[in-house]
Structures are given as C-alpha cells and as structure tokens.
Amino acid sequence: MRSGDDELVQKLSERVAEEIESLPRDGKDHEIRIKIKGSHNNVNLGSQTFEVKPGKELPPEGSNRERVCPQCEKPTWRFTQLCMHCDYDHHRHDQIEAEEQDALRKKRNELRLLVVCVASIAIAFGGFSLKIYFPAEYQGWVAGFSALAGFIAFMILQAVR
C-alpha cells in the first residue's frame, strides 16, 4: 500500500463500521451504500458492493481457507488473526511455531557440524598417527589429507564460535 492509502483505508473502515452498527438487528438482509467521490492516487475508486452477514459464518468445509484452531479444535478461517470461537491469536501461534521450527533446524545444523568436526578431527589425528604405516609414496598424500581434515575441523570450530 502507498503511504497515503493507510489513512484512506482507516477512514473507510470507520465509516463501514458505523454503518454496520446502525443496521437494525432483525435478521433480515440490509444494504449499505457508501459513495466515494473523486479519485485517489489517480485511481478511480468507483462504487463497491460489500455483503455483510450477521453472525459468524464458518469457512467452507475442506476448503483451503479453513484451519482448525489449536486451542478449541474447531474449524475457523485460515487467514484471520483471532479464532471465531475462542479468540485465540493464530498469528502469534504461527509465529511461535515458526520460531520453534527455526530453533529445531538450528540445533540439527549444529549437530551435523559437530559430527563433521569430530569426523575431521578423527581423520586428521588418525592420518598423522598412521602415516608411517603407509608406503612411502602415499605418506605425503596421507599427511596432506590429514592436514586438510584438520583445517576443516578448525574452520568449523571458528564458524560455530
């Protein structure tokens, strides 16, 4: 949204809320007309039709707009902030769940790095310790490979700090 649109949306929301509150509560269909004159940011706003239904309506069963509330376990709208039954904050729940998933993913990555680091240290130590048992033409390769494994372990330890 552009910077000036927030004020326009706020005024329009307030006006619509006033009109809805003034409707009779007789259970019948009523029509609200709000005329918007002129244009905003070179866009002709024209006329809009909004359908206002009394009470809370459940989302279509099985649609992609439905979700089960984690608190009351009743179906509610997927993209609304609050559950229509118990007012549970879905956005906060989703945020906490995403943070928990990120923390779990970070722990898994740290464990993988630890395994690679321990394996690199074992290869480096084992290579340097056992290079004398290899034929002379391979001892240079074993020493180089061991040094590379030690360097990898060192880099992992530096990255984890």
Q: Which two tokens stand for residue 27?
A: 């259970």
- Could you give the percent of the chain with pLDDT greater than 70? 81
**Higher-scoring residue by pLDDT: 108, 22:** 108
Q: For 105-114, which contacts have Cβ atoms below 8 Å and span 24 or more sequence positions? A: 110/160, 113/156, 113/159, 113/160
Instruction: Give the model's pLDDT for residue 64.
Output: 87
Residue 3 pLDDT greater than 60, yes or no:
no
CA-CA-CA-CA torsion sign (121, 126, 131, 134): negative
> Residue 1: which pLDDT band, with cuts at 50, 70 and 90?
very low
